[in-house]
Chain A
Amino acid sequence: MASSDEESAVAFVRRYQRRVFGLAAGILADRAAAEDVAQEALLRAWKHAPVFDARRGSVENWVLTITRNLSIDALRKQRSTPTDPDELVALARASVGPSTEDAAAAHMIGAPLIEALDSIPPEQRRAVLLASLYGRTAQEISDAEGIPLGTAKTRIRAGLLKLRDTLEDRAEELR
């Protein structure tokens, strides 16, 4: 690797490592597994950076999406017990404050997201998070939560629609 590439690689890792490791650890509740996932996510993003399409969103979201997908793969392989989605929301809620290192980003992105999640009925929020961050299907949510399949599907769909509407309203207010 040329020295300029090495410097770029170091800068890339330093920029995203906290968010990437935070997401993997937040989902997996296992620091060793989270480190493996975070390392692989950064490596994949680095290798595929030439084909990144900036029109489809930010680099950070792209790297985090890779991290989320790898975390879901790790959950499926290891069958370990992940962080409960309600705990993850509580953790995120606690992190949004002026004293946190991520304060600026939290107020720009985290706070509206948490407010939007808080506007959703808890059982719908839980279903949306189980599907989005943990890769659980409606059938798996039905089994895990002890609810009929139709109810699981309704919670997922209604919860995501509500999340979308609230985030769009908030974005409209900020314009």
Chain B
Amino acid sequence: MTYDETTHAHLRAQVADQALGILDGRGRAELLAHVEQCPECADELESLTAAADALVRLAPGHEPPVGFESRAVDQMRAASPGHARRRAPLLAAVAASVLVAFGLGWTAHVASSRPTTRVAAGQVAERDLAGSGHTVGAAYVYTGSPSWMFITVSLPGAPSAVRCTVVTTSGHRHVVGTFALASGRGVWGAPLPVSFTSVRSIELATANGTVVARLANGAWSDASGGSPRAGAIHPSA
């Protein structure tokens, strides 16, 4: 042993604090250095940590709010590496261009190293656009006043333009405009014709009325009344 009994006794009294995660940094460093040399304290730390860890099982399970599952999975999808790589450059460019085009004084900061756009007020909510059972793009809505939306979409085989329609919770349909696609790809922004809370769906359709993409996972205003969850772009605090 390379420590004296006084040190051992002093540090032994700290083992419970370490097991419970409340020892400060300096104390933790001293104790862990001691534990490396003292099998007795190492065993004590291991057994007390196991007891402390068991306490996380104390609280009974509880049903989370409606929509929790889909929001959790949405977050996982947004955090997947392929998702971030696919959307980051496009999203940053679109967000910046929309902000500049509207000239409403919002400040935008597009970080080159992260797939993140910061907006001065309000929130930006994201939902996938689905077509033929697949994710074909994304819709982003700025929830401040006035609200705006922007769309990124990739529809191989689609015609050279699609009509974008916002469908409200009361069933009214508002045509936002017709937007060009290049090789099936398109990016555009436009003022939202209704409050974002009344948006039930956003649809993209060809000239003959065939819907080729629509909002996945329902509207932003879910049944729990929860606020929209920002996806790949986040509002500043």
By a beta-carbon cutoff of 8 Å, the part of chain A in contact with chain B is 1, 5-6, 9-10, 13-14, 17-19, 21-23, 25-27, 31-32, 35, 38-39, 42-43, 46-47, 57, 60-61, 64-65, 67-69, 88-89, 91-92, 95, 100-102, 105-106, 109-110, 113-114, 117, 128-129, 131-133, 135-138, 153, 156-157, 160-161, 163-164, 167-168
Contact = CB atoms under 8 A, between A and B. Distances in A.
A1 B76 contact: yes
A88 B50 contact: no
Given A25-B62, A31-B65, A64 B57 contact: yes
A88 B59 contact: yes
Given A10-B69, A110-B60, A156 B17 contact: yes
A67 B51 contact: no
B20 interface: yes
Contacts of A114: 58
A89 B51 contact: no
Shortest 8 CB-CB contacts between residues of A and residues of B: A26-B59, A95-B60, A18-B61, A22-B62, A164-B51, A64-B56, A21-B64, A157-B16
Given A1-B80, A13-B69, A14-B69, A109 B62 contact: no
Contacts, number: 160
Contacts of B20: 128, 131-132, 156, 160
B217 to A, nearest CB: 12
A172 to B, nearest CB: 13
B55 A129 contact: yes
A1 B20 CA distance: 37
A92 B58 contact: yes
Chain A residues touching B, majority SS: helix
Contact of A6 (B56, B68, B73): B73
A61 B57 contact: yes
Given A1-B83, A113-B54, A161 B22 contact: no
B51 A26 contact: no
